[in-house]
Structure 1
Amino acid sequence: MIREMIKKLFNDDAGVSPIIATLVLIVVAIAGAAAVGVLMGSFSSDVSSSSSSEGAANGASTELLIAGSTTVQPVSEVLAEAFMRENQGVKVTVQGGGSGAGISSTEMDIVDIGAASEDVDTVTTHPKLQQHQIGASGVVLIAKGVTSTTVVTPQEVKNLYNNVSSTGTVSAATANTAAGLTAAAPITVYQREESSGTEETFSKWASNSKTWMDDTNATGASGNAGVLKAVEGSSCAIGFVDFGFAEGSTSATLLDVGAGTSATTVKAEILKALKGESSTFPAGLTRPLNYLTNGAPSTLEQSFIDFARQPAQDALFDEVGYFSMIDIS
């Protein structure tokens, strides 16, 4: 019942932006099924343009709802488009919300397939879930108006975030002392405002704790896209995003965490690290891209997961700066 209500919320022709739909998903994942009845009275939504097709819009007979990690979202969107082209009559809706929302909404049976850019404990913590890896990626440190002449170490990152003031900034002098960074003005430091596999990966690399950043004063931004946009829109800022988001940026630059600052070189080193080969990119900043199902996948869910793992989809992963299962095998 809940799943059908949420699908109607995402697919109704009245149309609300994907941002509203994502916010609804997060609220439902946190608040639980009781929130659905209230939300249904206020919102309806169309499928985002990035995951719809003419054939599906003309009345799909079968639907899939995929939501969660904003890292996995870009590749899910291009996979959805390709899948719908090959399977007329199937409609695939893709939304973000963060890895935490992907895990929770899958457990609550709100979505068909959840997305998480982290390994999920399906033995003890989330025994109802099954995990299906479709690819992998890496987290990078980005900045604008901030430079470093040396490799930024985990300890320096920890020092930087621990010195963020209540205004969400670090003075140029403190940033230089704590992390060897150079800036002409106070640096706005960003983190994720929602439960995120990207943040957990970055936090564990810097401090050996997934939850360390919960206690920092860094300014929160929504999703990888939100952090990237915030850094790009600042005069002096620093943050972390998945490499796939940083690769296409025209104003944010990569800070060296071991593999240099050239996007081409960093991408090559991330792949080496993912394959277990000698690499200058920190292995701790790599992570899997996973789909989640509540128990064994249905026939349609399994078909989409298998489709995502096919060698033919390798180009789609490369298109968004990620690595397919073929790449990392």
Structure 2
Amino acid sequence: MIKKGFLLGSIFALALGVLTGCSGNSQGAQKGQLSGTLTVVGSTAMQPLVDEAGKSFTTSNPGVQVNVQGGGSGAGLSAVMNDTADIGNSDVYAEEKEKVDSKQVVDHKVFVVGIAPIVNPGTGVDNVTHQQLIDIFTGKIKNWKELGGKDQAIVLVNRPASSGTRATFAKYGLLGNEEFRGEGGIEEESSGTVRKIVSETPGAIGYLAFSYIDDSVRALKVDNVEPTNENVYTNSWKIWAYEHMYTNQNEKNKQLEEAFIGYIKSDEIQNGLVKKLGYIPISEMKVERDVNGNIVK
């Protein structure tokens, strides 16, 4: 005959086990239990946040090492497709990148970033029309005096072809204009270097994620619309992109990949670090955009 106390204890233990099992996928349950190395490569627009999230993730999981590298969205997508990185950070969909087989990778949208044209504060210009922005980057407008600014030659500062920030700016800022002088002017690998050059070069113009914009440069309004998160929410400011973390279909490092991406998507990071660093939680968006750039919601 089973004793009553033993029976009650068994029921309690079983219930506790069920509750523990139900929370097994949460970050809280995983803290301190993970180990290994995670290599994350790609978008420099995403890099400040992923760097910080990586540090806090390893604080909770001392057995984990998170290596975060830039290189641009194209580099991130190629690395994860070729299985030389666990996660590829990208400002664009895999389908938009040449030489990337989107069937080999899995998309995880993690947050949104706004992108704005930025100029050296000495240009004397703080607002342009959409057409004027296109004319600047296609070489039709060559001097700031043509826009009511200083008599100063316009110096283009571009990101390389692998950059998702550049692809987003060309698609939504320049409306995919084929005459975009992507190879013109100065070309720099990282967003931080673009900011430095624009801030120090008279007449310079470039483009940056909102998260990189500070008082050393001036963000231009376009058609009198300010580049703010609030305007991105409603698509009033149209130069924005989903930020993606791609994994390989093989998922050799599946446990760590899922845990880290889950951490990035958690309320703790979305309502904390994402907002703090100037990015936008997907939950804040009032619209939804598909891979072709169409608003579907």
Structure-1-length-normalised TM-score = 0.69
CA deviations on 1:50-85 (whole Å, 9 max, x unpaired) are xxxxxx9xxx94110001000111110111011111
Task: Check the 8 A contact 1:135/1:325 in 2, yes or no.
Answer: yes
Match of 2:7 in 1: none
**C-alpha displacement of 1:215:** 5.2
In structure 1, the partner of 2:18 is none
**Alpha-carbon deviation of 1:171?**
4.5
Aligned to 1:142: 118
CA distance in 2 between counterparts of 1:61 and 1:306 reads 16
Aligned to 1:161: 137
For residue 199 of structure 2, the aligned residue among 210, 220, 232 is 232
Displacement of 1:328: 3.1
Q: How many residues align?
A: 248
Aligned to 2:230: 268
**3-state DSSP class of the match of 2:176?**
coil
Match in the other structure for 1:254: 219
Q: What is the alpha-carbon distance in structure 2 between the residues aligned to residue 187 and residue 208 of structure 1?
A: 20
- Please tell me whether the aligned partners of residues 203 and 213 of structure 1 are also in contact (alpha carbons under 8 angstroms): yes
**Cα distance between partner residues in 2 of 1:78 and 1:211:** 37
Residue 316 (str. 1) matches residue 292 (str. 2): no
Unaligned runs of 5+ in 1: 1-55, 165-169, 274-278
Tell me by how many angstroms 1:201 deviates.
1.0
User: Larger Rg: 1 or 2?
Assistant: 2
Contact 2:198 2:204 in 1 (8 A): yes
Instruction: Give the Cα–Cα distance (whole angstroms) in 2 for the partners of residues 295 and 186 of structure 1.
Output: 48
Structure 1 residues 283-328: Cα deviation after superposition (integer angstroms, max 9, x where no partner): 2x11001000111641110111111101111210112110123433
For the residue of structure 2 that corresponds to 1:114, the secondary structure is: strand
CA contact (8 A) 1:143 1:253 kept: yes
C-alpha contact 1:200 1:211 (8 A) present in aligned 2: no
| CA positional deviation for 1:129 | 0.6
Deviation at 1:237, TM superposition (A): 1.1
Structure 1 counterpart of 2:217, one-letter code: A
Q: 1:256 to 1:122 in 2, by over 3 A?
A: closer
Q: 1:133 aligns with which of 81, 88, 109?
A: 109
Matches within 5 A, 1:106-121: 106-121=80-95
Letter in 2 for 1:141: P
Question: What amino acid does structure 1 have at the position aligned with 2:125?
Answer: S
SS across alignment from 2:112: strand
Report what 1:97 is aligned to: 71
Q: Does 2:161 correspond to 1:185?
A: no
Q: CA deviation at 1:228?
A: 0.7
Q: For residue 232 of structure 2, what is the amino acid of its counterpart?
A: I
Cα RMSD over matched residues? 2.6
SS of aligned partner of 1:228: helix
Task: State percent identity of aligned pairs.
Answer: 25
Higher relative contact order, chain-length normalized (CA < 8 Å, sep 6+): 2
- Is structure 2 residue 262 aligned with structure 1 residue 291? no
The residue identity in structure 1 corresponding to 2:57 is F
SS in 2 for 1:110: coil
